[in-house]
Amino acid sequence: MSEQPRTPEPVGAPEPEPIRWFGTTWLHRDRGYWLRRVAVPAGALLTAAAAAFVLRLGVEGVALSAEGGFLDGLLVGAVAICSLMAALRTWKLFAEGRDRLTGWMAEDRSLGAVWMIGGVGALLAYFVRSLTEAPGEAVRRAAHERAVARYEQRRAGRGRRPGAKRGR
């Protein structure tokens, strides 16, 4: 694929916000964007597999303690619920942005243990989300387009001579 030459951005034009792992390549999808689009989901899937393995070791360690089936079921249920909550939060985070999170999804400190235990769910949501776009790209693209539109409106409003007197 050949890249089309871009015109340089005018001085004072809004700059795009970088995305982790992608920088600002998401804007024009250049400089290794597609390689990153393949590497990021693969990395998320590998990391989710490693986290699931670690969680499995922890659950098996509790099962070896022979405390009973109730405790084992309770632990598996807690991991499943935490993973579901973390997956929902991650999905919404990349679909709408951090500033749109409300309620329990906006809590970082008080639910830190839930997000840590549910890390597998968050990584799987990150993997699925990154199959369609760079995670958070839609939110950042919409914000950048709004900023560019405002910039163009301000620039278009300067077409008149500001020092000229208006007719009566």
Q: What is the pLDDT of residues 90-121, one digit of tens each?
A: 999 988 888 888 888 888 888 889 999 999 99
Q: Between residues 156 and 54, which one has the greater pLDDT? A: 54
How confident is residue 89, by pLDDT bands cut at 50, 70 and 90?
very high
Mean pLDDT on 134-157:
89
Q: Tell me which amino acid residue 147 is.
A: A
Q: Which residues pair with 19 in a beta bridge?
A: 23
Whole-prediction pTM: 0.77
Asked whether residue 164 carries a pLDDT value surpassing 80, the answer given is no
pLDDT at 4 over 60: no
